[in-house]
Structure 1
């Protein structure tokens, strides 16, 4: 049975239960404790004023499946980070026997994605849902960045790769990435679906990611 990340499955604990089940059988993966999760969330919130809206930058599945409430979204540009398949996945869209790959932000270059604005009154709850989704496995670090959109510059929170994490994967060839993405599948679906959804929704924003398009072109035809 395929699990979907939705607002409902985040609120009812289904996504967290999947994570906990995997963590119990893979203690070597350095999953974050509840105390660490709470501390990191509080640190992120201290950079935000009590009446200040929160911008969140999405560059992968958040673009097409945010699963949190927001009041505005904009196509935005981030300098200093680029989108890359650099995170191995043993759950979600892969298995221990056939790991998948997920996108993360790695240093260098630039990235176009979507900035979502969460109104101040809803920030604690909505960021809490996002935290559960992105931070438990320890593969991402939350980071404040500066985005550009519509001639404006504004700060936003995003999730970048944790280079110290054992699932961080350094440069793969295009052929290696395509071979993994073509076959990997887990409880959340396939890596191929994840890649194709990301490309499709970027194109709807008028964004063409050459690196993703090259990987998609290298996949075997279905």
Structure 2
């Protein structure tokens, strides 16, 4: 699948007659809310794990030196914490461009912290997109993140802001925190 998914996403769901849609954010959508929303609530989705396995050559890196950003990987029993936003369907005009680098919109059931549930959408970069990088040791991922810089800024900012946001949500994302720890070690040894 091509990395640019804008046109593909615009054919995936029909929003005719729908006033609002829940959207689940598990990466930069948690802390970089550059879109209008009607409501927001902490939420979780089941069966998915957050992983820094997606390449970013449009925001946090370049085609020659891609950064790494998160996607979701199916994992039975996993629980991924994030932020749910109730948005007008028109918001996807902006989000489809923002999330164009290999991400497709999928339906998901989200559970809010108060126990309520809703069906909504989530952007996931699957293994068959051109920008998918896959698994690597935390130290290698941290090294790549430390060296990557793109139009949206240093890849380190993405990782550090995500880790901080997950702590604020009360999430214990071992994968993210292991990479953050390796990055901080690498940065302190360079000083």
Normalising by the smaller structure, the TM-score range is 0.7 to 0.9
Q: Residues 81-133 of structure 1: CA distance to partner in whole angstroms, max 9, x if unpaired?
A: 11111111223211233221111112112210000012xxx32x212111121
CA contact (8 A) 1:55 1:117 kept: yes
More strand by share: 2
Out of 161, 181, 187, the residue aligned to residue 125 of structure 2 is: 161
Structure 2: runs of 5+ lacking an equivalent: none
Larger Rg, first or second structure (1 or 2): 1
Query: 1 CA distance for matches of 2:132 and 2:71?
Result: 9
Question: Which of the residues 167, 170, 177 maps onto 1:213?
Answer: 177
Would you say 1:130 and 2:130 are equivalent positions?
A: no
- With a CA cutoff of 8 Å and minimum separation of 6, indicate the structure with the bigger relative contact order: 2
Distance 1:30 1:140, change over 3 A: closer
RMSD of aligned alpha carbons: 2.0
Q: Determine the structure 1 residue equivalent to 2:166.
A: 202
C-alpha change, 1:210 and 1:30, in structure 2 (3 Å) is closer
1:95 to 1:132, Cα distance in 2 relative to 1, 3 A = closer
Shift >3 Å, 4+ stretches: 28-32
CA pair 97-127 structure 1, distance change in 2 beyond 3 A: closer
Please name the residue that 1:84 is paired with.
51
Number of equivalences? 183
Contact 2:3 2:131 in 1 (8 A): no
Uncovered stretches (5+) of structure 1, i.e. residues with no partner = 1-27
TM-score when normalising by structure 1: 0.75
Within a 5 Å distance, the mapping from 1:1-222 to structure 2 comes to 31-32=4-5, 36-37=7-8, 40-46=9-15, 50-108=17-75, 109-118=78-87, 122-123=88-89, 125-135=90-100, 137=101, 139-149=102-112, 150-219=114-183, 220-222=186-188
| Maintained 8 Å contact 1:199/1:208 | no
Per-residue CA distance 1:1-46 (angstroms, 9 max, x = gap): xxxxxxxxxxxxxxxxxxxxxxxxxxx95534x7x34xx3243135
